[in-house]
């Protein structure tokens, strides 16, 4: 007779099999669901340099997700924004150094720094007295003035257009070696004695006058006439495109077009445009390319595109001249033109003339 199996033994064996299968399935699922960042690197991957930790200003780098591109790895290493698609360079970080071989350039200046008011009342009288005292007081002594000793023609002993020929400033040496250059800015004046005198002494002279009939005229061996007007701005590109032979330029633009890097003497008689032209020379650092200045300043009205009350206008004029001084220029001669109306901003005050001629020398000129 067959031996009977004890009750319940088959059920226990079946239960153990089911539990074992469930345990194996759970272990497999756990192994597959582990995060990819904790896996060891594949042996087939080529060894690469260990990535540098990001700087303290960057957040910790997250683990690379699946399908991450090399560009994201570059971002973590360098701490800089990756270049956009197409190969363009990203925006440099603020404060980044200029490219090697190209020194950092100064940012553009849009206006001059105004000097403090002459007095607490901010009155016209205070401003005029300060301004007249400034333009009437030489700041440096010049023992050899003008070009009388070098000129071949007779000239008066004292004339408004003066240059300093002291050896320490080098102009006399440049004239002697026939290596000096004069730019003369005018508006239809027939008085060319100063230009002719320097040309005869050996200077290369360029006279800019919009009333000249020819675009470029060689008047004598060293004297050029150009039908160009010096302005404080270049013509608008749309206007320049319609008129490519426009005769209005900034002085800096003309220097670039002519290939001239330095001017030994700059003479200007611009009939009240001198204030804005002088402002442009200051803001664009053109003054650094000039050895001596001799300017006629006109005081009977504010000048082109100079606005504000009378006291503000005089403060602006004074601030311009102080900027010239900050550039290293020193006033060595002042001429008060008594042949002009004795008016200051249309007022008869302080016995002021409506026109003065001022001459500066650049003490930093080399």
Question: Is residue 117 pLDDT above 50, yes or no?
Answer: yes
Looking at 52-66, 141-155, 294-308, which range is the least confident one? 52-66
pLDDT at 175 over 70: yes
Considering only 1-5, 110-114, 169-173, 225-229, which range has the smallest mean pLDDT? 1-5
Tokens 């004695």 locate to 193
- Of 106-120, 167-181, 230-244, 255-269, the range with the lowest mean pLDDT is 230-244
Choose between 18 and 304: higher pLDDT: 304
Q: What is the predicted pLDDT for the residue at 33?
A: 63
Say if residue 64's pLDDT is above 60. no
pTM: 0.67
Residue 291 and residue 260 in contact, taking contact as beta carbons nearer than 8 Å: no
Q: How confident is the model at residue 127 (pLDDT cuts 50, 70, 90)?
A: very high
Query: Would you say residue 308 has pLDDT above 90?
Result: yes
Q: Which residues contact 248 (CB under 8 A, 6 or more apart)?
A: 210, 228, 229, 231, 234, 235
pLDDT value of residue 241: 54
Q: How confident is the model at residue 210 (pLDDT cuts 50, 70, 90)?
A: confident
The rounded Cα 2 to chain-centroid distance in angstroms is 113
Once rounded to an integer, what is the mean pLDDT over residues 9-30? Answer: 72
Query: Averaged over 5-27, what is the pLDDT?
Result: 69
Q: What percent of the chain has pLDDT over 70?
A: 68
More confident residue, 26 or 291: 291
What pLDDT was estimated at residue 116?
98
Give the mean pLDDT of 314-325.
Answer: 98
307 has a pLDDT exceeding 50: yes
CA dist 332 to 128, 158, 179, 269, 336, Å? 21, 14, 23, 18, 14
Averaged confidence pLDDT in the chain: 78
Residue 59 has pLDDT above 90, yes or no: no
Identify the pLDDT of residue 232. Answer: 84
pLDDT surpassing 60 at residue 207: yes
Can you tell me the mean pLDDT for 264-277?
A: 94
Which structure tokens are listed for 201?
């002494």
**Res 32: pLDDT:** 65
Give buried/exposed letters for 168-199 (b at 16+ CB in 10 A, else e).
ebbbbebbeeeebbbbbbbbeeeebebbbbbb
Q: CA 172 to CA 39: how far, in whole Å? A: 83
290 or 243: which carries more pLDDT confidence?
290
CB 311 within 8 A of CB 123: yes
- Tokens encoding 237: 């590109």
Please report the pLDDT score of residue 187 as a whole number: 80
- pLDDT category at 214 given cuts 50, 70, 90 is confident
Q: Report the residue count for the chain.
A: 366
| pLDDT confidence of residue 25 | 78
Say yes or no to pLDDT of 39 above 80: no
Q: How far apart are CA 259 and CA 204, in angstroms?
A: 14
Percent of the chain with pLDDT over 90: 53
């Amino acid at each position: 007779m067959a031996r009977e199996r004890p009750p319940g033994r088959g059920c226990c064996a079946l239960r153990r099999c089911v539990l074992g299968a469930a345990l194996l399935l759970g272990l497999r699922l756990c192994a597959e669901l582990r995060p990819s960042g904790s896996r060891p690197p594949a042996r087939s991957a080529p060894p690469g340099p260990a990535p540098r930790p990001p700087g303290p200003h960057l957040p910790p780098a997250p683990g690379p997700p699946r399908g991450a591109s090399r560009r994201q790895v570059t971002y973590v290493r360098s701490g800089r924004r990756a270049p956009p698609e197409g190969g363009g360079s990203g925006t440099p970080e603020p404060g980044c150094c200029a490219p090697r071989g190209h020194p950092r350039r100064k940012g553009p200046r849009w206006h001059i720094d105004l000097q403090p008011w002459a007095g607490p009342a901010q009155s016209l009288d205070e401003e005029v007295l300060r301004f007249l005292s400034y333009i009437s007081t030489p700041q440096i002594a010049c023992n050899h003035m003008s070009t009388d000793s070098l000129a071949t023609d007779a000239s008066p002993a004292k004339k408004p257009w003066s240059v300093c020929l002291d050896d320490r400033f080098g102009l006399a040496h440049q004239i002697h070696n026939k290596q000096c250059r004069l730019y003369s800015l005018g508006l239809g004046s027939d008085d060319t004695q100063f230009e002719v005198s320097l040309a005869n002494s050996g200077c290369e002279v360029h006279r800019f006058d919009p009333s000249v009939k020819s675009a470029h005229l060689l008047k004598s061996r060293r004297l050029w006439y150009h039908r160009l007007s010096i302005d404080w701005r270049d013509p608008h590109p749309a206007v320049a495109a319609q008129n490519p032979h426009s005769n209005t330029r900034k002085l800096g633009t003309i220097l670039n077009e002519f290939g001239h890097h330095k001017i030994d003497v700059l003479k200007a008689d611009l009939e009240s445009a001198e204030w804005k032209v002088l402002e442009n020379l200051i803001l664009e650092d053109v003054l650094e390319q000039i050895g001596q200045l001799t300017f006629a300043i006109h005081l009977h009205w504010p000048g082109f595109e100079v606005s504000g009350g009378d006291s503000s206008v005089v403060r602006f004029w004074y601030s311009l001249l102080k900027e010239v001084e900050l550039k290293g220029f020193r006033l060595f001669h002042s001429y008060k033109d008594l042949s002009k109306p004795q008016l200051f901003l249309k007022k008869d005050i302080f016995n002021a003339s409506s026109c003065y001629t001022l001459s500066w020398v650049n003490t930093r000129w080399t």
